[in-house]
């Protein structure tokens, strides 16, 4: 069977992260949503997403296909139900379509003609940006169980202090001298060729993905995920970093999500709690206003390729778009549009020519190429987000 992941109605609620990727390529837990589905299904998947992303994330359609809503994370019960789908059947959870059978060229789907199968068990749904960090602990546990099943961890070094070592899994090539790992409240996963430098203290649930680095004397509270090729330092609490991003110095980052190719300068700090302890409101691209999150703790949402200079201060519930450059004293506004350059004193437009120059250099440092596809995607986002910038 051919499996295709589609963005679904939550796509706009997950901006700015879905400006540059399909919903399926959001990281939560240890793996991306796509990697979870591919592990469970034991096959590759393709994507139905926005037209401007389709060259980089194409769809491969065959005679028979199962379409899966990428906002839903897989578990054993859901996967078994999806594998048994037959022609003219669809799986629902309430009014949401989780998955359905389709044939090649079947563009218009009339679900009234489908047999509706209800999925009654529980599963994780990623509907809003803050779900990525608030549901990360459960996702780490599920991924940990999935990818460590019937496998043996590499041994914990004698110089490492470990609590509840049965909940710690270390992959090949990891270096972790003179650090502290406490897995009492959740598992700790240390990926391939990672490094945890001396003096670091980590409490689970925690995932350090392939080739990522924890700097000396870092203090990390779970549930936190550090994506591949990222660097993290200072104090971190309940954070998800997708990958290839850096917060390498002191400063606090809490209840936050960073995309790829982001950088937070030394002593950058985020507030994750309002002084009056009120519910945090967050910029909502769907309504183009600030929406209730239902959360008391919520920090920074930062899209791909955005940067913050040294000593930057982000207020509670700040959303920074794609390819923004924030710097200077004082608090910038709680919504920083994509391709903005400036800080509390105001913003100007960060022109794509300059953005491309920086992206090319930044990606080359990780031995990745800034491609023509990447340029076209950013050019589209620049035009799409123009209405938010004060020219």
- Tell me the CATH class for 131-388: mainly beta
Q: Does pLDDT of 261 surpass 80?
A: yes
Q: For residue 24, give every residue at least 6 positions away whose Cβ sits within 8 Å of its Cβ, in sequence order, or none.
A: 5, 7, 32, 33, 34, 37, 45, 47, 70
Identify which of 137, 94, 131, 140 has the alpha carbon closest to the alpha carbon of residue 13: 131
CB contact at 8 A, 96 and 69: yes
- Cα 14 from Cα 23, distance rounded (Å): 8
Q: Average model confidence (pLDDT) for the chain?
A: 96
pLDDT tens track for 38-92: 999 999 999 999 999 999 999 999 999 999 999 999 999 999 999 999 999 999 9
Global pTM value: 0.96
pLDDT at residue 391, as a whole number: 61
Give the closest residue to 237 by CA, choosing from 246, 225, 249. 225
Over 70: is that where the pLDDT of 289 sits?
A: yes
Q: What is the pLDDT of residue 108?
A: 76
pLDDT tens by residue, 161-186: 999 999 999 999 999 999 999 999 99
In the chain, where are the structural domains located? 2-118, 131-388
């Amino acid at each position: 069977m051919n499996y295709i992941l589609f963005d679904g109605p939550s796509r706009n609620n997950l901006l700015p992260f879905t400006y540059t990727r399909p919903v399926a390529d959001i990281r939560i837990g240890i793996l991306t949503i796509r990697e979870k589905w591919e592990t469970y299904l034991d096959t590759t998947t393709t994507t139905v997403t926005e037209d401007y992303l389709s060259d980089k994330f194409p769809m491969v359609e065959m005679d028979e296909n199962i379409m899966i809503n990428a906002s839903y994370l897989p578990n054993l019960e859901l996967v078994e139900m999806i594998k048994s789908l037959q022609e003219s059947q669809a799986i629902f959870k309430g009014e949401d379509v989780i998955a359905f059978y389709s044939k090649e060229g079947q563009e218009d789907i009339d679900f009234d003609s489908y047999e509706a199968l209800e999925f009654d068990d529980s599963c994780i749904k990623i509907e809003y940006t803050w779900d990525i960090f608030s549901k990360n602990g459960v996702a780490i546990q599920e991924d940990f169980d999935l990818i460590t099943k019937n496998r043996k961890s590499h041994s914990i070094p004698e110089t490492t202090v470990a609590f509840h070592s049965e909940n710690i899994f270390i992959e090949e090539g990891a270096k972790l001298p003179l650090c502290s790992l406490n897995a009492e409240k959740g598992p700790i996963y240390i990926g391939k060729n990672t490094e945890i430098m001396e003096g670091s203290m980590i409490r689970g649930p925690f995932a350090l993905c392939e080739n990522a680095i924890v700097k000396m004397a870092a203090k990390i509270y779970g549930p936190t995920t550090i994506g591949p090729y990222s660097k993290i330092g200072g104090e971190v609490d309940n954070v998800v970093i997708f990958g290839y991003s850096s917060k390498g110095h002191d400063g606090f980052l809490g209840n936050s999500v960073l995309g790829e190719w982001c950088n937070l300068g030394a002593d950058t700090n985020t507030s994750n709690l309002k002084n009056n302890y009120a519910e945090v409101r967050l910029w909502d691209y769907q309504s183009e206003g600030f929406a209730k999150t239902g959360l008391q703790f919520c920090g920074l949402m930062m899209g791909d390729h955005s940067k913050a200079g040294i000593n930057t201060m982000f207020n509670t519930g700040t959303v920074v778009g794609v390819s923004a450059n924030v710097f200077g004293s004082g608090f910038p506004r709680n919504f920083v549009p994509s391709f903005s350059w400036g800080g509390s004193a105001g913003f100007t437009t960060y022109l794509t020519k300059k953005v491309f120059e920086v992206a090319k250099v930044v990606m080359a440092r990780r031995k990745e190429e800034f491609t023509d596809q990447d340029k076209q995607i950013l050019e589209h986002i620049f035009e799409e987000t123009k209405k938010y910038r004060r020219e």
